[in-house]
Structure 1
Amino acid sequence: MTTTSTRLLALLALLTTRPSWTGPELADRTGVGVRTVRNDVARLRALGYPVESTTGRTGSYRLGAGGSLPPLLLDDDEAVAVAVGLRAAAGVAGVDRSSASALRKLEQVMPDRLRRELTALHDSTVEGPRTTASTDPEPEVGADVLRVVSAAVRDRRCLRLDDGVDPASTELAPTPPLTVEPYRVVRWQQRWYLVAVEVADGSWRPLRLDRVRLRPPHGARFVPRTLPAQPGVHAADDYAAFVVRQVASSGWAVHARIEVAAPADEVIARINPAVGAVEALDDERSILVTGADSLEMIAVFVGLLDLDFRVLEPPALAEHVRTLAARYARATR
């Protein structure tokens, strides 16, 4: 059975969705009797909400002028979903200011507990470089996972988790869980990564949050470490650069080595340095080591360099580029 406060919130939410409701309709939607609806309406009026009513066979209830939702008719996961969506829109030209303003207003009317959770998510999350968007399906990461992980980053508490799990499986991994120190959540290329240190060996790792399963209880507090220096990266705490370099070198489904007809400095100037490693061959040539989740995405990305190039590996990428070349040639006839 629902509590009185839960019923009042549900009733108030219903009254805001359309001009009027009959008593039996509200009773049916809230799962109580008509008499309970009348009592709940009286409670809302006592709280200051102007619920108006008409009597008789066609009697109904409506929310009068000045009525509004209390803060906040969203559960924890819904609040995180809205905040994540607004933060994503904050980077879109044309709606960026409105999105940021809406997010500030949303946070102002949230209960303190939810506001702390969203603040933790905001403070613990950084965006990776905006490069070519992926055409692959976006893996799902539960709002509950984001809330727990961001709170652990904020509180400097270790997490116990299984890594590399099948998202569709409900079985726990047979191996002991990892214990990690969480440092930052990185959102990049439609994926969420946790930058963490594995306590057992002190190694820094980017963990895909769609492939981990948290195991409570979580651990004790830890003393923060300093992110290791990264070639070509000047900021000592650039967690996004760390993730992208690690993924480009080992975390993608497809890895590639491409000879570019330009010096290394020119190639680096056309990409984010974290997208891949650029190695100088001589004054006129360099090697780009990069990757993606598909051959198609690598081909698109390399084409955007607007430089002559030659695919060294994998052979499948070279074949795909030949197919594209023939297709583009046909398009110009």
Structure 2
Amino acid sequence: MADTTTRALALLNLLQAHRHWPGAELAERLGVTERTVRRDVERLRELGYRIESTPGVAGGYRLEAGSALPPLLLTDEEAVAMAIGLRVAASQRLVSGPETTITALAKLEQVLPAPLRRRVKALAETVQPAGINAGAAVSSDVLGELALAIRDHERVRFGYTSASGRQTRRRVEPHALAPAERHWYLLCWDLDRDDWRTFRVDRLADVEHTTVLFTPKPLTAEEIEEFILVARSWVRQAVEADAVMTLPYDEMRRYFGQWGQGAQSEDEMHTRWPIGGSDFRETMYGLSWIPTGVEYVTDLAEPARGELRETLERMLRALDAAPPAPRPVGAELSRTRV
């Protein structure tokens, strides 16, 4: 790539595509020497791009925010307007493809000077689109950091506060961000639990980039949707109970898939599974999914326990009774006119 300008633009594109690049890999992709890469980095710095370089075996280059807006053919006002619009679209889910919205926001804010970022934050907080319930407040800064980590396949650490108020520090490989109803969720591989986990983004803080890259584990769009659906069900319900079934934990998880999240092994032969719903009927529906032939006990409390028993007893009487006479041929059901 002989043309200096073309090569510098290609280098800039690579720096915007990933958070961190080793110098040797940049040189290989551009077909030049590492010395030429260093010269091109200096040219970009002269144009206003702040590029941080780190020495050593794990060293390389990364694009940082500068003291002035780099030449994006945008005025400060235009850049602020774009960032505010993207923030509102991301937090309110006004457009399809939420990942595109937040990655675009992250890319733009990555190069905004600090004074412009402060303006964007102040103005965005005052913008409240009418008729849309945003749900729990979510930091667009946190969304942006997570989006960058997902884009770069970079492991991150963060603090998390559960619904019960318990605070933990998590190490994860972030896979996807998704809005569902009133909340944002992060789907990731939890390195300490060695399993998939889904976190509410509004309960997440202090995102720390590790610069450690990973190879994403394969997941289909349908699997991601199921993870988010399960996560949405993990809110406090009006009726809650545990079912302890005579089924080893590993077999239970294979049978229930993602719906087995929250289950715990009682012993070698028994698994405890939390269930719940808005009333006893939804709890009954959950219990009906326990595999055929598997015995279980439940601590479902009154009055839901009595309501469920009365409903089941009526069902059994109906099943034991003789079926109703067949409807006469050609007969029509009477309708109540309003």
TM range (shorter): 0.3 to 0.5
TM-score relative to the length of structure 2:
0.38
